[in-house]
Amino acid sequence: GENVEQHPSTLSVQEGDSAVIKCTYSDSASNYFPWYKQELGKRPQLIIDIRSNVGEKKDQRIAVTLNKTAKHFSLHITETQPEDSAVYFCAAPQGRDSWGKFQFGAGTQVVVTP
Amino acid sequence: GAVVSQHPSRVICKSGTSVKIECRSLDFQATTMFWYRQFPKKSLMLMATSNEGSKATYEQGVEKDKFLINHASLTLSTLTVTSAHPEDSSFYICSAIAAYNSPLHFGNGTRLTVT
């Protein structure tokens, strides 16, 4: 099955700086990679996703890059703001026979200090 | 679109009692829903896959007789924690997909505390 590793586990950044979180996956057939943001006590919310037919996707201050050869994908947050403080999870499909079953990374606690 | 609602958001129960958690897809039909458990400062641990009209598929190590899942309609899945014990205290979250190849959307979660 799919194995997803996420680094770093915690990330402190100064407001206005950039934050980068990296995930590696093991199954070369995986073709969809979402990123979720979870604030304390709340639901994970999809913030961006990427499919394997593209190498990069941007949405305002958030971008995701994918390197299929190296089997890793990264979340980039530019011009960080205090409201970006949360736990971020990456994910990859856990199997080829069904959709929706994902393996999640361990999470990254991002703290943006003013 | 793709709103998933979960109820209750918080529940406190006594040891030995059972608790039912509901997960509803509000604006789409979900043939498949998923139930997760999340410990403090930990990742999402998949417990089971809930399929409408058929038995749930449980992940290894999850007791199916303890965590009963029912997916009676295309918009509702329920998780019943039977004979709850303090170690069952956790944050339980459901998720659903609207269609094949579409993103996964989560419910708001249920904080279960067993005293």
Minimal C-alpha gap between A21 and chain B (Å): 15
pLDDT at residue B102, as a whole number: 86
pLDDT at A95 over 80: no
For B7-37, write each residue's pLDDT tens digit: 999 999 999 999 999 999 999 998 889 999 9
Query: What beta strand segments (E) does chain B contain?
Result: 4-7, 10-13, 19-25, 32-38, 44-51, 57-58, 67-73, 76-81, 90-97, 104-106, 110-114
Chain B residues with a Cβ under 8 Å from any Cβ in chain A: 6, 32, 34, 41-44, 46, 49, 91, 93, 95-97, 100-109, 111
* Cβ atoms of residues A73 and A90 within 8 Å: yes
Minimal C-alpha gap between B95 and chain A (Å): 9
pLDDT at residue B99, as a whole number: 82
Burial class (CB in 10 A: 0-12, 13-18, 19+), B40: exposed
Range picked from A13-22, A52-61, A96-105, B33-42 for highest mean pLDDT: A13-22
Average pLDDT over residues A16-25: 98
Contact state of B32 with A100 under an 8 Å Cβ cutoff: yes
Bridge partners (DSSP) listed for residue B12: B113
pLDDT at residue A9, as a whole number: 97
The ranges of chain B with pLDDT < 50 are: none
pLDDT at residue A74, as a whole number: 98
Contacts made by residues B43-52, CB under 8 angstroms, sequence distance 24+:
B43/A89, B43/A104, B43/A105, B43/A106, B43/A107, B44/A44, B44/A89, B44/A104, B44/B93, B46/A94, B46/A101, B46/A102, B47/B79, B49/A98, B49/A100, B49/A101, B50/B77
For A26-83, write each residue's pLDDT tens digit: 998 899 999 999 999 899 999 999 998 889 999 999 999 999 999 999 999 999 999 9
Minimal C-alpha gap between B57 and chain A (Å): 11
Contact state of A105 with B43 under an 8 Å Cβ cutoff: yes
pLDDT at residue A2, as a whole number: 84
Instruction: State the pLDDT confidence band at A97, using cuts at 50, 70 and 90.
Output: low
The nearest alpha carbon in chain B to A94 belongs to: B46
Angle, CA of A25, B40 and A15, to the nearest 5°:
75
